[in-house]
């Protein structure tokens, strides 16, 4: 493995399939000081021990503040600053702060590894700052970029990376892995996660119950739009918009005589409900949902969001 890698790798694919884990395994293997014959990290040398606890001097993980573990607020910080939500972007300051790491030699006489996740969360300034290092990389530096949406990266950044597209694992392998984790994830959870095993494992227990209750209300013609909005008013708009996209996708699939993709445990309800819903109206609603999903993560009045969403849904049939 050593000496044969390009200086920058871009792992990309849908969320929940293990791209970040793969990049971390590669990073640890590159930094390991007693690599196994298969090229993987030994897990026992000092370098591996430092990596596991997040203290290896030749490794950096750059991610948005919103994904960073723990509370990064400093003690005594002004109240108005403490109220700010952690940023979902990788900022230019985070990239500029890497100058010494990228340009000073290795502490352990090996590689220096920089992992950026998710790479598309870099704002334009951060991406441009990184580009300079990608164009003229220092000797011994390996860049590992992990992205759910690589086309959101500037073409100049993508062109300087060796892209590796990762696909969904086989359904049987995913189910076997989920069982080995000892969790409660089922075949239905895997289907709702679009076949992504890590996403299925991350589904909260309470979420499945709440989602099932919402879908039960959706399948009842007597449930009003305001009743649906009342049920959702304590929920976050983003997840509900995602649930509705998958519900509507499956309604369209049933109307088109195709297989249910996401809600395999709701197939009977979907088949009954779609009989009263014109396909063209379903398609228009699905397009409108995509626009609503785009704003669902922004600050907004959640109640008004749900009112608009379910009024449009009830107008289908």
**pLDDT tens figures, 182-226:** 877 789 999 999 999 999 998 866 788 899 999 999 999 899 999
| Paired tokens of 100 | 């010494």
In this prediction, residues 238-260 reach a mean pLDDT of 96
In this prediction, residues 162-175 reach a mean pLDDT of 96
pLDDT of 80 above 80: no
Query: How confident is the model over 17-67, as pLDDT tens digits?
Result: 999 999 999 999 999 999 988 889 999 999 999 999 999 999 999 999 999
- Judged by phi (left if over 0) then psi (alpha if -120 to 50, else beta), residue 279 lies in alpha
Residue carrying the six token digits 């109220």: 83
pLDDT of 77 above 50: no
Q: How many CB atoms neighbour CB 52 within 10 A?
A: 12
pLDDT of 300 above 80: no
Query: How confident is the model over 81-133, as pLDDT tens digits?
Result: 445 778 999 999 999 999 999 988 888 889 999 999 999 999 999 999 999 99
Q: What is the DSSP letter of 122?
A: B
How far is residue 87's CA from residue 60's CA, in Å, rounded to a whole number? 19
The per-residue pLDDT for 205 is 66
Domains and CATH numbers, the chain: 8-165 (3.40.50.300), 204-314 (1.20.272)
Exposed / middle / buried, residue 168 (Cβ in 10 Å: 0-12, 13-18, 19+): middle
């Amino acid at each position: 493995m050593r000496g044969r890698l390009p200086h920058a790798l871009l792992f990309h694919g849908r969320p929940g399939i293990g791209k970040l884990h793969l990049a971390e395994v590669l990073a640890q293997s590159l930094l390991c000081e007693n690599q196994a014959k298969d090229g993987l990290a030994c897990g026992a040398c000092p370098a591996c021990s430092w990596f596991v606890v997040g203290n290896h001097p030749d490794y950096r993980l750059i991610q948005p503040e919103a994904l960073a573990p723990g509370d990064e607020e400093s003690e005594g910080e002004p109240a108005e600053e403490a109220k700010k939500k952690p940023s979902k972007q990788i900022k230019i300051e985070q990239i500029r702060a890497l100058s010494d790491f990228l340009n000073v030699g290795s502490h352990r006489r090996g590689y220096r590894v920089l992992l950026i996740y998710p790479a598309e969360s870099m704002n334009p300034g951060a991406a441009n700052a990184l580009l300079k290092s990608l164009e003229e990389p220092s000797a011994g530096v390996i860049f590992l970029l992990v992205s759910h949406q690589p086309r959101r990266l500037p073409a100049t950044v993508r062109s300087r990376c060796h892209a590796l597209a990762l696909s969904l694992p086989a359904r049987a392998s995913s189910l076997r892995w989920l069982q080995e984790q000892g969790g409660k994830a089922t075949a239905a959870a895997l289907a709702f996660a679009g076949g992504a095993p890590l996403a299925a494992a991350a589904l909260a227990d309470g979420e499945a119950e709440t989602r099932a209750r919402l879908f039960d209300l959706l399948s009842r013609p007597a449930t009003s739009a305001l009743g649906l909005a009342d049920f959702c008013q304590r929920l976050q708009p983003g997840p509900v918009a995602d649930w509705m996209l998958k519900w509507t996708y499956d309604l369209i699939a049933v109307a088109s005589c195709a297989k249910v993709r996401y809600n395999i445990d709701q197939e009977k309800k979907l088949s009954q409900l779609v009989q009263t819903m014109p396909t063209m109206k379903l398609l228009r609603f699905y397009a409108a949902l995509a626009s609503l999903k785009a704003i669902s993560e922004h600050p907004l009045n959640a109640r008004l969001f749900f009112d608009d969403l379910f009024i449009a849904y009830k107008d289908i049939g």
